[in-house]
């Protein structure tokens, strides 16, 4: 395996949800795949600071965040760095890492950054100690690491923190049960992929809206007739509403207001319609306004678009490969959405062999790309490096650029044209 340079840093991102299961922010992660000794760590800190600046100045992370804030880890070196002051303070939450010693200098620096407009958070809180008090008088958010805590310890930590007017964020939430318990304790924010973990129910059947959408998707993939598609949609008016909402979003690049199914096909063409039908699977069948902001839709849209963009770098001009990459990313979260195994989903629609193999066993180039996408989400940066080496023409810089574009695209979904 090739040695990883300190400059090879991947941008990861993890969603943060509010109490209503809506996306609140992203934690932005800037990590090198090798941090072995102190010299390399110091080099990596300098490289990380440069990457953060590059991400905001050149890659457009600020635009990619859209309406959401970005949380950034800060150790002592980065916290006192002048580089932070060049970042957009209204968009950034600075997380003071647990390794930072709470000294008068650090307290003064945090006070100064807060006065400049930054939101300050305390990261990886486990147990209250008096040393934290000067910071707790300043910070606005505390991230409680629930992983090592039992319920009694979590209750004690929560009770101690409620002495201050803080927003409490439960991090490393791995299950709906954990999320529900923290919600009951009064936590405001939740970080983790508990919402993206499938709950498979034996014998579960698809509801009518899901069946209609899969039927529509099958018709599009088979170049079916427009009247057949309209007939399917007429039985589910909520789906029609959401289709029009999605296709009228700025993410489509369409300037004409789409007003009907037939009009959508005329304006978008079958290729784009196929994409919006895949995304439509993740929306509320009743056409609710919050359906386009759901974290699962945002994650699926980001996966699909990221894989599509990487496919374009791997095989420039191969639109079929790009389409298959997009479909693989979108469909990878279908077991979570529908609560049924992937093999049952694959039996309902005739996907190509490369898509099927990627979804079933992470095989082939699409499977490697899907693994890389999931490694970015899970902040497994060494795995990101190893998988990138298998994709000729892709490196950390390309992946980072594609990710920021994918986030921008996903964030724009549901925003209707003026």
pLDDT value at 4 more than 50 = no
Q: Which helix (H) or strand (E) element contains residue 141?
A: strand 141-145
Question: What confidence tier does 2 reach under pLDDT thresholds 50, 70, 90?
Answer: very low
Position 155 in a domain? yes
Position 417 in a domain? no
Question: What confidence tier does 201 reach under pLDDT thresholds 50, 70, 90?
Answer: low
Go through the chain and tell me how many residues it has: 418
The pLDDT value given to residue 117: 95
pLDDT value at 289 more than 60 = no
Higher-confidence residue of 352 and 48: namely 352
* Same-domain check for residues 76 and 170: yes
pLDDT value at 30 more than 90 = no
Burial environment of residue 7 by CB neighbours within 10 A (0 to 12, 13 to 18, 19 or more):
middle
50-64, 131-145, 276-290, 345-359: range with lowest mean pLDDT: 276-290
Q: Which residue has the tokens 């997009």?
A: 326
Is the separation of the CB atoms in 164 and 137 below 8 Å?
Answer: yes
Look up residue 280 and give its DSSP letter. H
Question: What confidence tier does 198 reach under pLDDT thresholds 50, 70, 90?
Answer: confident
Look up residue 249 and give its DSSP letter. B
Is the separation of the CB atoms in 327 and 278 below 8 Å?
Answer: yes
- State the average pLDDT for the chain: 83
- Give the domain CATH number at 392: 1.10.3210.10
Higher-confidence residue of 274 and 385: namely 385
The token pair at 224 is 């079916």
Taking alpha carbons only, the member of 291, 296, 285 closest to residue 239 is 285
Q: What are the b/e assignments for 115-141, b being 16+ CB within 10 Å?
A: eeebbbbbbbbeebeeebebbbebbeb
Mean pLDDT calculated for residue range 229-258: 71
The pLDDT value given to residue 415: 54
The alpha carbons of the chain give a radius of gyration, in whole angstroms, of 22
* Same-domain check for residues 177 and 267: no
* Same-domain check for residues 60 and 139: yes
* Same-domain check for residues 65 and 22: yes
Is the separation of the CB atoms in 58 and 29 below 8 Å?
Answer: no
Burial environment of residue 258 by CB neighbours within 10 A (0 to 12, 13 to 18, 19 or more):
buried
pLDDT value at 11 more than 50 = yes
Question: What confidence tier does 252 reach under pLDDT thresholds 50, 70, 90?
Answer: low
Question: What confidence tier does 38 reach under pLDDT thresholds 50, 70, 90?
Answer: very low
Q: Which one of 196, 228, 262 terminates a domain?
A: 196
* Same-domain check for residues 157 and 296: no
Query: Would you say the C-alpha torsion 92, 193, 176, 294 has a positive or negative sign?
Result: positive
* Same-domain check for residues 167 and 237: no
Position 1 in a domain? no
Structural domain count of the chain: 2
The pLDDT value given to residue 254: 63
Question: What confidence tier does 1 reach under pLDDT thresholds 50, 70, 90?
Answer: very low
Q: Which residue has the tokens 């199914």?
A: 261
The pLDDT value given to residue 57: 81
Q: Which one of 165, 196, 227 terminates a domain?
A: 196
Mean pLDDT calculated for residue range 340-349: 84
**Largest separation between any pair of C-alpha atoms in the chain:** 71
85-132 pLDDT, tens digit per residue, is 888 999 999 999 988 999 999 999 999 999 999 999 999 999 999 999
* Same-domain check for residues 129 and 236: no
Position 53 in a domain? yes
Taking alpha carbons only, the member of 229, 238, 248, 241 closest to residue 209 is 238
* Same-domain check for residues 218 and 282: yes
Position 399 in a domain? yes
- Give the domain CATH number at 27: 3.20.20.450
* Same-domain check for residues 263 and 191: no
365-403 pLDDT, tens digit per residue, is 999 999 999 999 888 888 999 999 999 889 999 999 999
The pLDDT value given to residue 304: 94
Mean pLDDT calculated for residue range 152-178: 95
Mean pLDDT calculated for residue range 183-194: 94
9-13, 16-20, 246-250: range with lowest mean pLDDT: 246-250
The pLDDT value given to residue 373: 95
Is the separation of the CB atoms in 180 and 197 below 8 Å?
Answer: no
The pLDDT value given to residue 169: 98
Query: In 3-state terms, what secondary structure has residue 290?
Result: helix
111-115, 186-190, 259-263, 325-329: range with lowest mean pLDDT: 259-263
Higher-confidence residue of 200 and 418: namely 200
* Domain extent for 82: 9-196
* Same-domain check for residues 347 and 406: yes
- Percent pLDDT > 70 in the chain is 87
* Same-domain check for residues 42 and 105: yes
- Output the DSSP codes for 30-91: EEES---SHHHHHHHHHHHHHHHHHIIIII-HHHHHTTSEEEEEE-HHHHT-GGGGGS-GGG
Question: What confidence tier does 216 reach under pLDDT thresholds 50, 70, 90?
Answer: confident
* Same-domain check for residues 275 and 369: yes
CB count in 10 Å sphere of residue 79? 20
Q: Which one of 171, 196, 221 terminates a domain?
A: 196
Distance of alpha carbon 5 from the chain centroid:
26
The pLDDT value given to residue 37: 36
Is the separation of the CB atoms in 350 and 214 below 8 Å?
Answer: no
Mean pLDDT calculated for residue range 11-32: 86
């Amino acid at each position: 395996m090739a040695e990883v340079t300190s400059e090879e840093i991947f941008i990861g991102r993890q969603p943060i949800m509010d109490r209503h299961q809506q996306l609140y922010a992203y934690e932005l992660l800037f990590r090198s795949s090798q941090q072995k000794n102190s010299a390399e760590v110091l080099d990596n800190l300098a490289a990380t600071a440069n990457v953060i600046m590059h991400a905001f100045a050149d890659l457009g992370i600020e635009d990619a965040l859209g309406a959401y804030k970005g949380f950034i880890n800060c150790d002592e070196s980065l916290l006192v760095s002048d580089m932070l002051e060049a970042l957009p303070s209204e968009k950034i939450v600075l997380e003071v890492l647990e390794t930072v010693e709470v000294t008068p200098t650090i307290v003064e620096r945090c006070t100064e950054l807060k006065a400049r407009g930054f939101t300050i958070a305390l990261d990886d809180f486990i147990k209250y100690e008096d040393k934290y008090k000067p910071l707790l008088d300043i910070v606005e958010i505390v991230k409680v690491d629930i992983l090592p805590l039992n319920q009694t310890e979590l209750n004690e930590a929560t009770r101690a923190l409620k002495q201050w007017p803080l927003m409490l964020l439960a991090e490393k939430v791995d299950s709906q049960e954990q999320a529900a318990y923290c919600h009951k304790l009064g936590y405001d924010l939740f970080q983790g992929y508990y919402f993206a973990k499938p709950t498979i129910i034996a014998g579960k059947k698809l509801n009518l809206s899901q069946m209609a959408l899969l039927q529509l998707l099958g018709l599009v993939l088979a170049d079916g007739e427009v009247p057949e598609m309209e007939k399917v949609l007429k039985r589910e008016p909520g789906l029609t509403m959401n289709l029009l909402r999605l296709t009228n979003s700025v993410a489509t690049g369409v300037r004409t207001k789409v007003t009907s199914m037939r009009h959508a096909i005329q304006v978008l063409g079958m290729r784009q319609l196929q994409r919006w039908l895949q995304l439509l699977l993740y929306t509320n069948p009743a056409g609710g306004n919050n359906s386009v902001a759901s974290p699962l839709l945002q994650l699926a849209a980001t996966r699909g678009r990221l894989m599509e963009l990487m496919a374009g770098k791997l095989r420039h001009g191969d639109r079929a490969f790009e389409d298959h990459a997009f479909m693989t990313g979108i469909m990878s979260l279908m077991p979570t959405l529908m609560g049924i195994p992937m093999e049952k989903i694959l039996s309902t629609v005739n996907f190509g062999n490369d898509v099927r193999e990627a979804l079933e066993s992470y095989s082939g180039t699409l499977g490697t790309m899907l693994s890389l996408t999931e490694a970015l989400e899970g902040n497994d940066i060494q795995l990101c490096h190893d998988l990138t080496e298998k994709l000729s023409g892709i490196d950390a810089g390309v992946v980072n650029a594609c990710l920021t574009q994918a986030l921008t695209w996903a964030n724009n979904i549901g925003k209707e044209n003026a």
